[in-house]
Amino acid sequence: MARKKTSIDFEQSLADLQTLVERLENEELSLEDSLAAFEKGISLTRDCQDALAQAEQKVQMLLERDGELKARPFDPEPEA
């Protein structure tokens, strides 16, 4: 269940960040509102970076065998 929550949090954070950027680009905000929005954007960006780093670490752990990382080509089409 924790994995699902992390995924939802990442997706929500990314959507919130996109909305925030659009708001900063399209609205005339006061200096205080702009700074608050920028601060929130930095926080959301860090949250997304952390989630991506954790996902990358998990993928590396899953691919690692005998202490070595085994690179495999990505094949998006399942073999039939």
In the chain, domain spans? 2-63
User: Is the pLDDT score of 2 beyond 60?
Assistant: no
pLDDT at 37: 94
Is 40 a residue whose pLDDT tops 60?
Answer: yes
Sequence-distant (≥ 6) Cβ neighbours of residue 40 within 8 angstroms: 20
Whole-number pLDDT of residue 9:
87
Question: Residue 1: what pLDDT?
Answer: 43
In tens, the pLDDT along 44-79 reads 999 999 999 998 888 888 877 666 766 667 666 655
Q: Taking residues 3-24, what's their average pLDDT?
A: 83
CATH number 1.10.287.1040 is the correct assignment for the domain at 2-63: yes
Three-class SS state of 65: strand
